[in-house]
């Protein structure tokens, strides 16, 4: 059994202890189910689905968070089944990213059948990129010219890159973006 598998099994048992018979699903998502995982650096991300999220459940789980943190487990998303459909229009990038890289450890797969509305994805991409553009000038004013292309890479903008509407050849429209926002498109 690999370290991953052992941790996945251990966390699934933790979720069962916390949620008891209200547990509907335990899903791991993110880099730990891909080749992008870096031991010692990457963390583990879980979605725990329960019948109802209430104070008692939050307190039971909250008491275990320090132990989870020691094992590089990010605070899990504790959700009710209805949350997926109710919040899909608000968080399409996050759900799309989870759907692309997840594995169900126990119970139902709440991510596999999610259907995304293109307009919701486009709106969130635009909102996220415009927010970055608003903040783009701050380091420029503090430190002088930066390579603008660096503001569109890595970190919190990664889900945007994966979800951004593609050109017919499947590539991101960097040239079009650079013309629209007057940034250097050379990568």
C-alpha span between 127 and 151 (Å, rounded):
15
- pLDDT tens, residue by residue, 99-132: 999 999 999 999 999 998 988 888 888 888 888 8
Q: Could you give the domains of the chain?
A: 3-107 (3.30.460.10), 118-181 (no CATH)
pTM, two decimals, is 0.73
* Spatial strand order in the sheet of 23-29: 77-79, 45-50, 23-29, 102-107
- Residue 68's nearest CA partner among 20, 14, 105 is 14
- pLDDT tens, residue by residue, 55-101: 999 999 999 999 999 999 999 999 999 999 899 999 999 999 999 99
Mean pLDDT of the chain: 82
C-alpha span between 146 and 137 (Å, rounded):
10
pLDDT band at 185 (very low <50, low <70, confident <90, very high): very low
Other CB atoms within 10 A of residue 122 CB? 14
User: What is the predicted pLDDT for the residue at 170?
Assistant: 55
Provide the percentage of residues in the chain whose pLDDT is more than 90. 55
User: Are 149 and 187 a contacting pair, CB within 8 Å?
Assistant: yes
The Cβ-side half-sphere exposure at 91, using a 13 Å CA radius, reads: 11
User: What is the predicted pLDDT for the residue at 103?
Assistant: 97
Q: What angle do CA 165, 170, 176 make, to 5 degrees?
A: 55
User: Are 69 and 11 a contacting pair, CB within 8 Å?
Assistant: no
User: What is the predicted pLDDT for the residue at 154?
Assistant: 44
C-alpha span between 169 and 11 (Å, rounded):
41
Full 3-state SS string of 72-118: CECCCEEECCHHHHHHCCCCHHHHHHHHHCEEEEEECCCCCCCCCCH
User: What is the predicted pLDDT for the residue at 106?
Assistant: 98
- pLDDT tens, residue by residue, 134-178: 887 776 667 665 555 444 444 455 555 555 555 555 555 545 555
User: Are 77 and 47 a contacting pair, CB within 8 Å?
Assistant: yes
Distances (CA, A) of 123 to 90, 135, 144, 157: 9, 19, 31, 14
pLDDT band at 187 (very low <50, low <70, confident <90, very high): very low
User: What is the predicted pLDDT for the residue at 39?
Assistant: 85
- Residue 17's nearest CA partner among 55, 45, 50 is 50
For residue 153, the surrounding DSSP H or E stretch is none
- pLDDT tens, residue by residue, 10-58: 999 999 999 999 999 999 999 999 998 888 889 999 999 999 999 999 9
């Amino acid at each position: 059994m690999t370290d991953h598998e052992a941790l996945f099994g251990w966390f699934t048992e933790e979720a069962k202890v916390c949620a008891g018979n209200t547990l509907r699903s335990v899903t791991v998502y993110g880099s730990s189910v891909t080749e992008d995982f870096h031991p010692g650096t990457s963390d583990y991300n879980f979605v725990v689905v329960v019948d109802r999220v209430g104070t008692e459940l939050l307190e039971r789980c909250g008491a275990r968070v320090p132990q989870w943190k020691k094992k590089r487990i990010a605070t899990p998303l504790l959700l009710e089944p209805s949350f997926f459909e109710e919040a899909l229009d608000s968080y399409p990038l996050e759900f799309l990213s989870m759907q692309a890289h997840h594995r169900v450890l126990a119970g139902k797969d709440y991510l596999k059948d999610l259907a995304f509305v293109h307009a919701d994805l486009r709106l969130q991409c635009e909102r996220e990129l415009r927010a970055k553009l608003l903040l783009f000038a701050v380091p420029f004013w503090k430190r002088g010219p930066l390579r603008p292309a660096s503001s569109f890479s890595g970190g919190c903008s990664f889900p945007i890159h994966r979800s951004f509407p593609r050109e017919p050849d499947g590539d991101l429209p960097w040239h079009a973006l650079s013309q629209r926002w007057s940034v250097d498109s050379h990568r």
